[in-house]
Amino acid sequence: MGTRGRATGLAAGIVADALLGDPRRGHPVAGFGAVAARLERRMHRDAVAPGVAYTALLVGGTVAAGALAEAAARRAGGRRETVLRAGLTAVATWAVLGGTSLVAEGAALADALDAGDVAAARARIPHLCARDPQLLDPDGMARAGTESLAENTSDAVVGPLVWGAVAGIPGLLGYRAVNTLDAMVGYRSARHARFGWASARLDDLANLAPARVTAMITVVVAPLVGGSPATALRAWRRDAAGHPSPNAGPVEASAAGALGLRLGGPTVYSHGTEDRPSLGDGHPPRIADLHRVARLSRLVAGAAGLLAVAAAAVLGGGAARRHGR
């Protein structure tokens, strides 16, 4: 499969997300979620096998759609192939990236808490995470927002870019499909404990590399948020393994170290309470820390964008040389 135009398309999609954020209406990810929800109601059984079929059907279909788009570009040939591939990659990248909207939600939560408007702050929590906002006080919402911004920077930005750089449009669309299904059925609720197993495990696999790329970038940019690379790296190496998620652990631990915070503790979801281990050595997140983690998220996203475009350009150049182009 050719890679010409991939780097240009990724760069254009990153710029589109930065300038425009998510589409206000007709978001492709929302459309995928609606289809997935209807299919879940039809296919759900309290068993692993139906969940495997559900995940394979939705993720496989999405990856196939991306492969068809790349095949259409390849059939165009020559310069038209490069232009078409770049355009399709740009649209796909814009559709699956969520960094600008993520930071905007974090800023809205911070503004509401700064103003002492607890009701408005609680209304913002569902846009960031699955915790019950009615059970959170302002400090609890600050912690929820901080942890969500840190983790979702990997899910909403770095993950799509890593897969887009390596696998083009199928990688972009497939990753977003996997991540969306994990958010929908991957939680350990009574309904999805078995049915959602495949989606949750596939999401774990898809995020193994992106989570560690996110943590590495966080270590490097720590001084830009008033932190220390050594402290961020120490928190990652010491604390990440204690987190129940193999991928949220490195991301949240490195962010805690970079920001000088202590994350973790009892975490209340709709399906129950999870007691998370402590990550980092500092104080628990406060309202002011939401602004700092938003800055960290922007820095990590920017660095990941540059790395993804560079990686796609290198891969594209290598492919062109192999084919004598």
Closest CA to 245 of 206, 218, 300: 206
What does each C-alpha distance from 125 to 33, 176, 251 come to in angstroms?
20, 21, 20
**pLDDT reported for residue 271:** 60
Query: What percent of the chain lies above the pLDDT cut of 90?
Result: 79
pTM, two decimals, is 0.91
Q: Which two tokens stand for residue 146?
A: 């901080």
DSSP codes joined into one string, 36-67 = HHHHHHHH--SSHHHHHHHHHHHHHHHHHHHH
Question: Which is higher by pLDDT, 256 or 75?
Answer: 256
Confidence check: pLDDT of 319 > 60:
no
Residues contacting residue 154 through CB under 8 Å, at least 6 positions apart: 207, 210, 211, 214, 247, 248, 251
DSSP 284: P
pLDDT tens digit string along 174-210?
999 999 999 999 877 889 999 999 999 999 999 999 9
How many whole angstroms separate alpha carbon 235 and alpha carbon 176? Answer: 29
pLDDT tens for 235-265 read: 999 999 999 899 999 999 999 999 999 998 8
C-beta of residue 75 within 8 angstroms of C-beta of residue 259: no
Helix axes 248-259, 229-239, angle to 10 degrees: 140
Contacts of 41 (CB under 8 A, 6+ apart): none
Compute the C-alpha angle 159/62/53, nearest 5°: 100
Paired with 283 in beta bridges are 261
**Phi and psi of 277, rounded to 5°?**
-70, 160
* Position 322 confidence tier, pLDDT thresholds 50, 70, 90: low
Check whether 1 has a pLDDT greater than 50: no
Location of structure tokens 């830009």: 224
Q: Which amino acid is at 166?
A: V
Least confident of 159-168, 242-251, 311-320: 311-320
Token pair in block for residue 86: 């770049």
Distance of CA 63 to the CA centre of its chain: 18
Tell me the CA distances in angstroms from 73 to 79, 118, 160, one per residue in order.
Answer: 10, 50, 21
**Could you tell me if 47 and 55 are in contact, meaning their C-beta atoms sit under 8 angstroms apart?**
no
Of 231, 238, 176, the closest CA to residue 206 belongs to 176
**Domain locations in the chain as residue ranges:** 6-322
Q: What is the pLDDT of residues 45-63, one digit of tens each?
A: 999 999 999 999 999 999 9
- What the block records as the tokens of 295 is 């800055």
Instruction: Indicate the SS3 state at residue 224.
Output: helix
SS3 state at 281? coil
CB atoms within 10 A of CB 205: 11
